[in-house]
Amino acid sequence: MMTNAAGEPTALVTNIQKYTIHDGPGIRTEIFFKGCNMRCIWCSNPETLSALPQLGVYPAKCLGRQKCGRCAGACPQAGSPIRFDADGVIKSIDFAEYCEGCLRCAQACPAGAVKIWGTSMTVPELMKIILEDKAYYERSGGGVTLSGGEVLLSAEFAELLLKECKKEGVGTCVESALNVPWERAQAVLRLTDLLITDIKHMNAEKHREYTGSGNERILRNIKKAAEFGVKILLRTPVVPGFNDDDENMRATGAYIRDELGGAVIQYQLLPYRKMGTEKYASLCMEYPIGDRAVVPRGEWENKIAELAAMLTDEFGIPAAAGSGNKLPL
């Protein structure tokens, strides 16, 4: 577990989103942890993949070197890693060759053109923010949702944080792919009111091809979690051409019915939409899914609704299209 200079446990957080309403019941504060051990080609949060702090560059916000130039001024290497275009507008930061990752350029930028992805935070710092909205959780049946990245890569920290939440009476959700050793997951799930997890594909090979990782451990852990007694909100991000075929959907339906007992309170089919392109650009990363899987908005939502109805009919599981339906809690 990471610690700060004072020896307090810390974790890297990329974003704290208040009034989240689709990741668990009620009004929630969602905390995104940095670092992930999967590489799903449709991932819309590329800033959470690496477990290290990163700099994102937003040229459209840059004031230009002539008018500002504070980033280069703050850089211990006199700005040599910072690339500007012909007009003096920031283009990128050369992480590979020169940058030491001191983050001073981002701290100096007044315009948000250089953004730090990943702030080191302690449990008390997070609790202060979480508790700001306590009245809203209480009224709505909400609470906190730990997400990522893969939050279970920071399991010890998550455990400390969830203990504090429990102490304060804040409801807890954990959103995880469960692609970690079971023991690591178990310690966190003990403090979790609702687990949000995915079955991305039933076929291990396909799963590996699209996410960089097989599904064997994931399926095993979902089953263990079901047996462990935690309530599960199960999801499939339905990506055209990857997992939307009837065969895979039926296999998923059967698995939920046969293996997960009554632990799954709702099975959500989430229509894939390409989001986060500007974040990929800020990190100078390619969006792996590229232009594949582009679907007209309404049409795709209709298909998802049909799939959900089919799964409910054929397998008697609580399938739902999208995340707008009430959770039976």
Only segment of 66-74, 81-89, 187-195, 236-244 that touches another protein (CB under 8 A): 66-74
Minimum CB–partner distance for residue 60 and another protein (Å): 12
Q: Does 322 bind another protein (CB under 8 A)?
A: yes
Q: Does 227 bind another protein (CB under 8 A)?
A: no
Question: How far apart are the C-alpha atoms of 158 and 163, rounded to whole Å?
Answer: 8
Give the residue, chosen from 39, 67, 83, 128, that forms a contact with another protein under the rule CB under 8 A.
67
Question: How far apart are the C-alpha atoms of 32 and 43, rounded to whole Å?
Answer: 14
Half-sphere exposure of 69 (CA within 13 A, CB side): 8
Q: Which residues of 118-142 are buried (b: 16+ CB within 10 A; e: fewer)?
A: bbebbbeebbeebbebeebbeebeb
Q: Which is nearer to another protein, 68 or 202 (CB)?
A: 68
Chain-centroid distance of CA 121 in Å reads: 17
CB-based contacts of 187: which residues, under 8 Å, 6+ apart?
Answer: 155, 156, 159
Q: Does 111 bind another protein (CB under 8 A)?
A: yes
Give the residue, chosen from 1, 3, 4, 19, that forms a contact with another protein under the rule CB under 8 A.
19
Q: Does 17 bind another protein (CB under 8 A)?
A: yes
Amino acid identity for residue 125 in this structure: E
Give the residue, chosen from 31, 36, 51, 68, that forms a contact with another protein under the rule CB under 8 A.
68
Give the residue, chosen from 8, 9, 15, 21, that forms a contact with another protein under the rule CB under 8 A.
21
Q: Which is nearer to another protein, 95 or 136 (CB)?
A: 136
Q: Does 20 bind another protein (CB under 8 A)?
A: yes
Q: Does 150 bind another protein (CB under 8 A)?
A: no
Q: Does 70 bind another protein (CB under 8 A)?
A: yes
Q: Does 275 bind another protein (CB under 8 A)?
A: yes
Alpha helices, H only, the chain: 70-74, 104-108, 123-132, 134-140, 155-168, 182-189, 204-211, 216-228, 246-259, 277-282, 297-315
The two beta strands, 28-33 and 54-57, are unpaired
Q: Does 324 bind another protein (CB under 8 A)?
A: yes
Q: Does 278 bind another protein (CB under 8 A)?
A: no
Q: What is the DSSP letter of 68?
A: T
Minimum CB–partner distance for residue 125 and another protein (Å): 15
Rounded to 5 degrees, φ, ψ at 275 are -135, 160
Give the residue, chosen from 2, 22, 101, 124, that forms a contact with another protein under the rule CB under 8 A.
22
Q: Does 142 bind another protein (CB under 8 A)?
A: yes
Give the residue, chosen from 76, 101, 112, 316, that forms a contact with another protein under the rule CB under 8 A.
112
Q: Does 136 bind another protein (CB under 8 A)?
A: yes
# residues contacting another protein (CB under 8 A): 31
The answer to whether 24 and 142 are in contact (CB under 8 A) is yes
Q: Which is nearer to another protein, 113 or 160 (CB)?
A: 113
The two beta strands, 143-147 and 171-175, are parallel
Q: Give the number of other CB atoms < 10 A from CB of residue 98.
A: 13
Contacting residues toward another protein, per CB under 8 A: 17-22, 26-27, 63-64, 67-68, 70, 110-112, 132-133, 135-136, 139-140, 142, 273, 275, 322-327
